[in-house]
Structures are given as structure tokens and as C-alpha cells.
Amino acid sequence: MKVFFTAVLILFVFVGISCLPSFGQPVEKATFLVLKNAMVIDGVSSVPQLRTILIEGAKITKIVDSTKEKPVFPEGAFIMNLEGHYIIPGLIDGHVHISHDSRQEIEMILKEALLGGITAVRDMGGDSRVLASLRRDALINNIDAPNIYYSSLMAGPTFFTDPRVISGTRGRTPGQTPWALEITATTDIRQAIAETKGSGATGIKIYADLPPKEIDRLTAECRKQGVRSWSHGTIHPAGPMDAVMAGVETLSHAPLLAWHNKAIIPPSYTKRYDLPHKADELKSPAFTKLFQEMKKRGTILDATVYIFQLGVIKNSSGKADKNAQEAIARYAKEATRIAHQQGVKIAAGTDFLLDPKNSLPNLHDELEILVSGCGLTPMEAILAATRNNAEVIGIQDKAGTIEVGKQADLVVLAADPTKDIKNTRKIRYVLKSGRVFIRQ
Ligand SMILES: [Zn+2]
């Protein structure tokens, strides 16, 4: 798991080389990198295909069908022979919270995540001052980290005593900052969304304690100003269908859909896990209606299945009852399975980027569960973490698939992930904007 000189040395020994690249630095403008004869899972075709990819600087400039055409390499190109290897688009974790640790810890986690195949993340609630600085440093390669996209949290006034939001607004007043903003019937929404944009956020996270009317106002203004609108599965008292009808682009956390069609939704998010999770109801006509509406409108389910398997969810009285945990874990998988079956797009996110005790990011676990527990094929799981997440963030013109003109954000694997999703863990190299990192 080393970059820079080790990468140069090992590649020099094991890979066919025509000249030395400037590893650890963005490849110079005039320098070409060639990934030769790999099986490419491009996010567009239905099966892996033998291809040679040409990269110039940070972008993919040519993709050649190696079975039909003998590619001519530009002079001075650095060639990596990747026969027997598989290339997928860089993985995107669509649900993380990275801003709460010290800068040093965050940088360590981000570097591990990058070396674990993650080339972009969507942060779903944190301190935008920290995130803006990290985002800039990741973008210009001051730090080795995935590209960072983040959100501004919007909620009703009762939400802002939550300790997570107090920690994310230190030095400011929770509820009165652009990235943790109290919304009421008298809020100037145009100004609120403008300030969100000014804080560098890509979207808003509609989190809690808001009625349907305010969600309508927020999404309408987001559309006007070109800001993404992302929502929790239930917003209390607004429910999942209210958010879908307001036109949010994603709903987060599959178990929060359990409030759909309940007679009363409590007005406080603190009660969000205070109901029985009965997976059988997901097959009822009421849920079919919800999933059909999501499919029709293109609302993506940010399911975060993995986190609910960890048994960490508490109800409003602070209890983590074992039976309730198991019911939530089952419900998360079953809601995702049925939504997927009914044509709802699934995005892969973890709510927990990386445990420093592990060497790989948790997204690999999420992908495994999407296949083993939610009925996605390995190819569909890969799309959930690449193309679908790029669509969620709104960066589909530059990331999420392997196509000419896109950023060279790629993961080179030693085995076929479409045969066994566990193979996303067999990482040899990670490329972010054309920079090569060696893992093993
Ligand atoms: Zn979250």
C-alpha cells in the first residue's frame, strides 16, 4: 500500500514500461498513460470487454477495442500491461460523514479510502468549513484523497440541539449557519439556498422536523438555483411520499421508509426508530405505490444497508433492543430488495466511510450485502457505487463510467467483480484523475 517511489520501482520491475511516469504527481500534460489489454467494466456495457485505455493528464482520451484494432501509442507513453486484470470506474461512497475527526485523522482515513478504491464521496452532514478545505486539497492533489462533495443540512427549529450538529457548527450558532440551517415558514428560502451554494455545497440534506410544505419550497428553489436536493427517508412529520412528490433526488436509509402510510408520523426525528419494522408490509399495495412513484420520478434510494447490520441503532429512549436491531437489519435489506425489484435505482453508501481498524473502506461490505441480501447482480452493485452515485451528485458528465472525456478515476482489480462481488477488494492500482496509486 505505497505510492510514489515504490510504485515506480515495482511497476518498473513487473509491468512493461516504455518510460518512467511521474508517480505521485499529476501526469504531465504531454504524458500519456496506457492501460493495455484489460477487461473493462465501463458502466455502460452489460459485460466486461477487452480494451486498451489511453489517458492524457487527468482524462481518458481514447478507448480501443483490443480485439479489433492494434492501438498506436503516442511517443513517450507509459504503458501498463494489464492482461488478466479488470478495470471498474472509481468507486463513490454516496453517504459519508468525514468532518468530525481531527484534520490528521481525516487525512489518514481519506488516504486509506482512496487506496481502497474510493475516488469520490458525498458527505451528508458535517462542518462545511472543514469540508471546503478538504475538498480543495483533494481536488488539487495537496492531499491523497477522494474528491469530496458535500451537503448543507436543513431542518426544523427543534432539531438543532442534536450533539452532531453542535459539533459541526462550533464557533457559530446551530441553526443559524448556511450548512446547518433552521427552516421555518418565514425563512427566506432563496437566500438560504444561495448561502448553501456559497458554502461550497453541491446539495441540501433535508433532514428532520419539517412539514411537506417546507420541503416543496426547498426543492423548488434548489431546482431554480441548480442545487441538488437530498432527503432523509422520513422527515417527521413529512413522510417518504411527501419527499418524493416534492421532487427530491434521493431518499436516505431504507428503514426510514417504514413510516410510509402510517396514520401518524411523529413531528420529531428523535422517534424515527420508534416503530416496529415489519418487512411483510413492503409487499403491500401502499409500498408498491411508493416504489412506482420513485421509479417514475427517478428518485434514487440511498439505502445504506450495511450500517443497519451493525446493531448500533437506538430508539428515542436510548435502547438498542436485540430483536428490534435484527428487525431493522432485515427491513433494510428487504426494502432495498423490493425497491430494486420494482425498478427503483439504488445508490451505494455506508454512513461510515472507513473504520481505521480495517484496511479497506466499508463500501466493499455494502456492495457485498447489496448482492447477497438485496438481490442486485454484482454488475448492478457496481453501478450503484459508480454510475448511480455520479448521477446522485450530478457529476455524471465527468465521473461514474469509463468513457472518453471523463476523468481517469479507475480501479484495477486482479479478479472479475462481475463473477464475485468480493473481488472489488482485490485492488492492484487506483487511479484518481490519472494519478496512479499502487495497492499491492
Ligand atoms: Zn448519514
**pLDDT of 20-79, one tens digit each?**
444 444 444 447 999 999 999 999 999 999 999 999 999 999 999 988 988 888 888 999
267 CA to centre of ligand 1 in angstroms: 20
> Separation of 428 CA from ligand 1 center, angstroms?
30
50 CA distance to ligand 1 middle (Å) = 38
| 342 CA to centre of ligand 1 in angstroms | 25
- The Cβ-side half-sphere exposure at 95, using a 13 Å CA radius, reads 27
Nearest to 315 by CA among 278, 254, 258, 274: 274
pLDDT reported for residue 76: 85
pLDDT value, residue 31: 79
DSSP state of 256: G
Cα 314 to ligand 1 centroid, rounded to whole Å: 15
* Separation of CA 253 and ligand 1 centre (Å): 8
Helix or strand run (H / E) with residue 151: strand 147-155
CA of 232 to the centre of ligand 1 (A): 9
- Centre of ligand 1 to C-alpha 256, Å, is 12
The residues, ordered by sequence, that sit 6+ positions from 30 with a Cβ below 8 Å of its Cβ are 76
Q: How far apart are the CA of 43 and the centre of ligand 1, in A? A: 26
Cα atoms in the Cβ-side hemisphere of radius 13 Å centred on 284:
11
- Cα(22) to centroid(ligand 1), Å: 37
Whole-number pLDDT of residue 378: 98
Q: Which helix (H) or strand (E) holds 403?
A: none
Q: How far is the CA of 419 from the centre of ligand 1 (A)?
A: 30
* CA of residue 365 to ligand 1 center, whole Å: 17
How many other CB atoms are there within 10 angstroms of residue 111's CB atom? 18
Note if the pTM is more than 0.75.
yes
| Long-range CB contacts for residues 19-26, cutoff 8 Å, separation at least 24 | 19/76, 19/77, 19/78, 20/78, 21/78, 21/436, 23/435, 23/436, 24/435, 25/141, 25/435, 26/57, 26/58, 26/141, 26/433, 26/434, 26/435
Cα 124 to averaged position of ligand 1 atoms, centre (Å): 5
Q: How high is the pLDDT of residue 10? A: 41
Q: What angle do CA 189, 213, 268 make, to 5 degrees?
A: 100
Ranges of residues in the chain whose predicted pLDDT is under 50: 1-30
Between the CA of 335 and the centroid of ligand 1 the distance, in Å, is: 18
Closest CA to 313 of 249, 253, 260: 253
Residue 104 CA to ligand 1 center (angstroms) comes to: 22
For the chain, the distance separating the N- and C-terminal CA atoms, rounded to the nearest angstrom, is: 6
φ/ψ of residue 241, rounded to 5: -65, -35
